[in-house]
Amino acid sequence: MSYIIDRRENAKKKSTVNRQRFLRRYKQHIKRAVEEAIHDRSIKEIDQGGQVTIPRRDISEPTFHHGEGGLRHKIFPGNKEFVEGDEFKRPESGGGGGAGKGKASNQGEGEDDFTFTISQEEFLDFMFEDLELPWMVRKQLKDATSFETRRAGFTSSGSPEKLHIVRSLRAAHARRIALTDKHVRQQIRALRKELWALEDAPPSVEKTDKITALRAQIAELEKGSRKLPFLDDFDLRYTNLVRVPLPSTKAVMFCVMDVSGSMTQSVKDIAKRFFILLYLFLNRNYKQIEVVFVRHHTHAKEVDEQEFFYSRETGGTIVSSALALTADIIDKRYPPADWNIYIAQASDGDNWDGDSTTCSKILIDRILPKTQYYAYVEITTGPHQNLWHEYEQVREAFKEQFAMQQITEAGEIYPVFRRLFEKRTEGAVHES
């Protein structure tokens, strides 16, 4: 008989290999559960794990056993009612002798279905699998930073108001000690101890002569050290102050989307996945994230997430109304000194004639000087629209802050997102 022993190391959780094999086997069930979660969940809850239910009939496990070769003898327990060849009578309706408590189902699936939980990382793996994303790739964007002045020790040069007196005197004292002879200092200390002892003794002529001689000897020895300056320019110490960058921990994400009649639900679903990617990315870089939803057709409005993705609208498209509203919200609620501002705009590219010029003006004058990053995605299978051509000029003026890409199908969402947000070398700009 052969024994197969798996000696591969597991992670902190046991049976990791078996779990991965299990997830691969029931991949279709998990993907279906993940797709339902993407449709039903909020953006802020999308990166959580979830429960997956598998019908009991689908979880039978294969087993190894010996074949039926050779001669075998089997002994079965007997009974008093049946012999070989008898047929069992079918139980009457509702009268089965079993004690099962499951409920009937017209699909053959009752309460015996198997339910298990997948982790956050596993959820993201299946969520982005069709986007060729086996795991979240973490990249860093340039943080908007503020500065704080802090003490950083002492320096030998500085302005007079930063002079540290105690440190300067301590340095002067150390210098004087270092420049005098060690043996001379020891001799002076010994003579002073002898002088103090004589001063405490009873008065006498001999005592007076000794005291006078000791004082003269001490003065002669100290004459060399008195030549050293009490305080030199070399001794001066100044408080050193440095500016320390403080990365901001707050970010606001603006989701701007066209909801006019030309934006179908499939286009909105692609936009939603792009916004989800952006939120997950920012959530890994900042402690506090706020999401603002701005939708527009001929007029713009700030709405909640449900209305943003699923409310139906008809009519034309005026993109400048959404950009003007976004700029107003930034001015009122999100000062750039306190917030890292990110804006993602999704559209099919269609816009009212003459309005695209107004859009570029609002971006250049009111939005881009205050934002950390602006990403525009055009979701269309046709040629570029007038808004795209106008935005190309904006990209030339703000190469580091403004990026734009085209998406034609769901499989392009993550590659486009990666091109928009990957860490760039200085001067590098990705062309669509």
For 81, the token pair is 């009612």
Query: What's the pLDDT tens digit per position in 411-424?
Result: 777 777 777 766 55
* Alpha helix ranges (H) inside 114-204: 120-127, 165-179, 182-200
Cα 60 from Cα 64, distance rounded (Å): 13
Number of domains in the chain: 3
**Residue 225 shares a structural domain with residue 368:** no
**Residue 301 shares a structural domain with residue 404:** yes
156/223: higher pLDDT: 156
Mean pLDDT of the chain: 75
Residue 128: band (very low, low, confident or very high) from pLDDT cuts 50, 70, 90: low
The three-state secondary structure class of 252 is: strand
Domain boundary among 240, 267, 296: 240
**Residue 399 shares a structural domain with residue 277:** yes
**Residue 320 shares a structural domain with residue 274:** yes
Query: What's the pLDDT tens digit per position in 205-215?
Result: 777 878 888 88
Alpha-carbon distances, residue 95 vs 87, 92, 99, 100, 102 (angstroms): 18, 5, 11, 12, 15
Cα 421 from Cα 373, distance rounded (Å): 9
**Residue 227 shares a structural domain with residue 173:** yes
**Residue 294 shares a structural domain with residue 382:** yes
Query: What's the pLDDT tens digit per position in 235-275?
Result: 888 988 888 776 556 788 899 998 887 777 778 888 888 88
Q: What pLDDT does 311 receive?
A: 72
**Residue 268 shares a structural domain with residue 379:** yes
Which one, of 222, 225, 198, lies nearest residue 212 by Cα? 198
Position 138 pLDDT exceeds 70: no
The three-state secondary structure class of 52 is: strand
Residue 301 lies in domain: 249-421
> Can you name the residues that pair with 150 across neighbouring β-strands?
242
CB-based contact 385:378 (threshold 8 Å): yes
pTM recorded for the entire structure: 0.50
In a domain, 377, yes or no: yes
**Residue 41 shares a structural domain with residue 179:** no
For 168, the token pair is 């300067």
Maximum mean pLDDT: which of 44-48, 83-87, 98-102, 382-386: 382-386
The whole-number average pLDDT for the span 50-75 is 70
Taking only Cα atoms into account, the Rg of the chain, rounded to an integer number of angstroms, comes to 41
Domain boundary among 212, 240, 268: 240
Compute the half-sphere exposure of residue 386: CA atoms within 13 Å on the CB side of its CA.
13
Q: What pLDDT does 364 receive?
A: 92
Compute the half-sphere exposure of residue 137: CA atoms within 13 Å on the CB side of its CA.
15
CB-based contact 296:318 (threshold 8 Å): yes
Domain boundary among 203, 219, 240: 240
Position 9 pLDDT exceeds 80: no
